[in-house]
Amino acid sequence: MARAFVFPGQGSQAVGMGQELAEAFPVAREVFEEVDEALKQNLSKLMAEGPEGDLTLTENAQPALMAVSLAAMRVLESESGKSLSDMASLVAGHSLGEYSALAAAKALSICDAARLLKLRGRSMQKAVPVGEGAMAAVLGLSLEDAEAVAEEAAQGEVCAAANDNADGQVVLSGAKAAIERAVEIAKGKGAKRAVLLPVSAPFHCALMQPAAEAMEEALANATINAPSVPLVANVVAEKVVDPTRIRELLVEQVCGRVRWRESVLYMKSQDVDTLVEVGSGKVLTGLVRRISRDMTGVAVNTPADVEAFLSSL
């Protein structure tokens, strides 16, 4: 059996993330310095000290989460003396985490990943005026039932299943009024919970088209190499290695669904039994057992986590 390294998405950010790694390992500090230099911004200070409201801003949260993931990745490689390809057979990331996965697999440089994510965050925020879009988590309904809820709630507005995270955990995204209708419809159809999420924009739906166009232009000029380990891409839930295809999928990903449940099941079909979540938080680790009881999730984001993981190699 094999391991896959997976990288978290927005929502996993927290003030202080990555600080223990930076204090314990010079290579982690170097990643934060690289990102600060690439962005001409003291992002590492914001990550360390907050304020939380500024860190949560999409244009800061996205490169910051990538920085923590890559700091942890560099620590794993330097402390083990092994490369990513020695430790994992596949990589994947949840939404922005796909950029972290590509940087970990040397398909993107850390500096380019930081700049692209800064632009991605800013473009997603600008795509829809604040207050006009929304997202909601629907728990306890299948993807098919959640899609039916979205269709009924749309009434001519955008309303779509944006994240298929696990069995019975789907996130809807779209116009605010449509999402509010969807929450009530979902409750009427037997959802255990249907709640609006505290997000600043309706990600992964057709309303993000202006952001997709901005990313298409930026990615056209970005250097993308073949990854050292195949990427399981969000929008197709299968592995890709061709740089041209990766470029296309990163553009599609802005408006497209994050097919996380299917991606994890695909990795299982490729003999992966352990997902190692590299970076801030434990969101993806928590989803693993909900998707497949045969798989294990391990989170690596502190020096103690690093030590525990290295002892398992």
Catalytic residues, which ones? 95, 204
CA atoms of 226 and 107, how far apart (whole Å): 6
Element housing 52 (H / E): helix 52-56
CA atoms of 119 and 59, how far apart (whole Å): 7
Element housing 291 (H / E): helix 283-291
CA atoms of 116 and 122, how far apart (whole Å): 10
Largest CA distance in the chain: 56
Q: Which residue has the tokens 């994510």?
A: 117
What size, in residues, is the chain? 313
Render 71-139 in DSSP notation, one character per residue: HHHHHHHHHHT--HHHH-SEEEESTTHHHHHHHHTTSS-HHHHHHHHHHHHHHHHHHS-TTSEEEEEEE
Do residues 274 and 90 touch, judged by C-beta distance below 8 A?
Answer: no
Do residues 227 and 102 touch, judged by C-beta distance below 8 A?
Answer: yes
Give, in order, the Cα–Cα distances in Å from 80 to each of 69, 76, 136, 275. Answer: 16, 6, 41, 18
Residue 51, preceding bond cis, omega within 30 degrees?
yes
Q: Which residue has the tokens 């473009």?
A: 123
